[in-house]
Amino acid sequence: MEREYLIGIDMGGSEINAGLVDLNGKVMKKLTIPIDTKATKAKIIESIVFAVNKLKKDKILGVGIGIAGAVDVRRGIAIAPPNLPGWKEVPLKRILEDKLKIPVLIDNDANCFAIAEYKIGLAKKMQNVVGVLVNSGISSGIVLGGKLCRTASGEIGHMTIDSREKCSCGNIGCLEAYSSGAVIERKVKKLLNKKTITMEEIARLAKTNSKVKKIVADAACALGIGLANMALLLNPEIISVGGSVTSIKGFVEAAEKEANKRVRILENKVQIVKANTEDYGILGASSIAF
Ligand SMILES: [Zn+2]
Q: What is the pLDDT along the chain (290 residues), one digit of tens a residue?
A: 789 999 999 998 788 999 999 998 899 999 999 988 788 999 999 999 999 999 999 999 999 999 988 899 999 999 988 888 889 999 999 999 999 999 999 999 999 999 999 988 889 889 999 999 999 899 999 999 999 998 777 889 999 999 999 998 899 999 999 999 999 999 999 999 999 999 999 999 999 999 999 999 999 999 999 999 999 999 999 999 999 999 999 999 999 999 999 999 998 899 999 998 778 889 989 988 87
Residue in 81, 86, 54 with CA at minimum distance from that of residue 65 = 81
3-state secondary structure of 106: strand
Query: Are residues 259 and 155 located together in one domain of the fold?
Result: yes
Beta bridge partners of 10: 17, 66
In the reported structure, the alpha carbon of residue 62 is separated from the centroid of ligand 1 by a whole-number distance in angstroms of: 34
Question: Does 61 fall in a domain?
Answer: yes
**Per-residue pLDDT at 73:** 92
In the reported structure, the alpha carbon of residue 173 is separated from the centroid of ligand 1 by a whole-number distance in angstroms of: 7
Range of the domain at 39: 4-112+280-288
In the reported structure, the alpha carbon of residue 74 is separated from the centroid of ligand 1 by a whole-number distance in angstroms of: 27
In the reported structure, the alpha carbon of residue 70 is separated from the centroid of ligand 1 by a whole-number distance in angstroms of: 15
Q: Give the number of domains in the chain.
A: 2
pTM score, whole prediction: 0.91
Question: Does 149 fall in a domain?
Answer: yes
**Per-residue pLDDT at 125:** 86
In the reported structure, the alpha carbon of residue 171 is separated from the centroid of ligand 1 by a whole-number distance in angstroms of: 5
Query: Are residues 151 and 245 located together in one domain of the fold?
Result: yes
Query: Are residues 135 and 264 located together in one domain of the fold?
Result: yes
Strand ordering across the sheet containing 147-148: 147-148, 138-144, 129-134, 238-242, 272-274
User: Residue 68 in contact with residue 57, Cβ under 8 Å?
Assistant: no
What is the Cα–Cα distance from 244 to 173, expressed in whole angstroms? 22
